[in-house]
Amino acid sequence: MKIGRSLGPGPVFTTWTETILLAIFLLGPFAATAWKSLLALDPSRPESYGTFVGLANYVELFTHEPGFRNSLLASVLFISIVLIQSSCALLLAIWLRFLWPSRLPAGLVVLLITPLLVSPTVVALIGRLYLHDQVGIVSRALKVMGLLESTEAPLGSPRGAWISLACLDAWQWLPFTALLFWWAFQLIPRRQIEASKVDGLPDLMRLRYVELPHLAGPIAVVVLLRMLEGLRTFDLPQILTGGGPGISTLMASLYANRVTFNQQRFGIGAAHLQVLEMAAYVLILFLIRRLQLLRGLLHERAS
């Protein structure tokens, strides 16, 4: 028996070559960005360009960059909208589950998947056209119904811009998220569902005590993916609102693009990206912890 080789099923990476490749492709970009965040890379200050400044970029980011704090608040608000969308998608999946418990019509599946196949850039461009204050179909309809003043524009106020972002993002993601939740229902063992029906358990009771405990894991994975997608979203807000009006919809991804490429403050931009990555890790760990507590609570209630 050779030392270092596993017998039977074991770790995927068993050789130094695979480990090195993993480090290059996964840890390489992270390490490079972390190193750049510790350097002075502002072209407007050529006398100090490339020098090591330690955590000065992080200090400046948190203390002298009000746009950074506003971008974090905007991202948190958008993630909250994503969570509301996920809840609506779960309710839609439950409704579809009662209508088609075993198989969805092929046409309905295509209908639920189609919005996701459209590029976010195209969705944002269509949204700008429909929400245009003069020629937009939606704008004219809102003005005819009296929901919008003749001098107002849907994208002209922070409230209107956020509502527009939420609606367009929901149009693209909510149907597919509901489809994923419906597919998660198919993972429940059929014998448990049949046993609950034999016991005469009502549909709502079966959903709460039999099905949801098994769905806690898949639901958490889908919600986590949607939250990460919401954290890194860029095309939709950039094209639809450009971060405006003012900086009301300037999310973290838009702010990182503005600081890094528009202002070319690469050290601050690298520090900003590191903060976003750390926030994503904290979000993942927090959700995993909540998932463990939720599964334990659901299993306790089920027993």
**Are 186 and 253 a contacting pair, CB within 8 Å?**
no
Name, in order, each residue with C-beta under 8 angstroms of 225's C-beta and a sequence gap of 6 or more. none
Predicted local distance difference test score (pLDDT) of residue 212: 78
Measured between its terminal Cα atoms, the distance across the chain in Å is: 47
Highest mean pLDDT among 42-46, 49-53, 114-118, 130-134: 114-118
* % the chain with pLDDT above 90: 32
The answer to whether residue 129 is domain-embedded is yes
Q: Does this model's pTM top 0.85?
A: no
Helix then strand then coil, % of the chain, to nearest 5: 70, 0, 25
Low-confidence winner among 6-10, 238-242, 285-289 (lowest mean pLDDT)? 6-10
In a domain, 147, yes or no: yes
| pLDDT tens digits along 10-65 | 444 456 776 676 666 667 777 888 888 888 888 888 888 888 988 999 998 888 88
| Number of domain units in the chain | 1
Cβ–Cβ < 8 Å for 252, 75: yes
Query: At 1, is the pLDDT very low, low, confident or very high (cuts 50, 70, 90)?
Result: very low
∠ CA 148-153-158 to the nearest 5 degrees? 100
Note whether residue 222 is domain-resident. Answer: yes
The verdict on residue 207 lying in a domain is yes
**CA-based Rg of the chain, rounded to a whole angstrom?**
24
- Asked if residues 236 and 169 have their Cβ atoms less than 8 Å apart, the reply is yes
Q: What CATH number is attached to the domain comprising 136?
A: 1.10.3720.10
Structure tokens at 109: 């599946």
What pLDDT does 113 receive?
A: 94
- Residue 163 pLDDT > 90: yes
Q: What is the mean pLDDT of residues 194-209?
A: 73
Domain with 37, as residue range(s), is: 31-302
In a domain, 19, yes or no: no
pLDDT in the model for residue 301: 57
Residues 6+ apart with CB under 8 A from 200: none
Task: Say how far apart CA 119 and CA 236 lie, in whole Å.
Answer: 9
Residue 2 located in a structural domain = no
> Taking 90 as the threshold, does the pLDDT of residue 114 lie above it?
yes
pLDDT value for 215: 81
pLDDT band at 249 (very low <50, low <70, confident <90, very high): very high
Helix H, strand E, coil C: the string for 74-105 is: HHHHHHHHHHHHHHHHHHHHHHHHHHCCCCCC
- The answer to whether residue 286 sits within a structural domain is yes
| Within-domain flag for 196 | yes
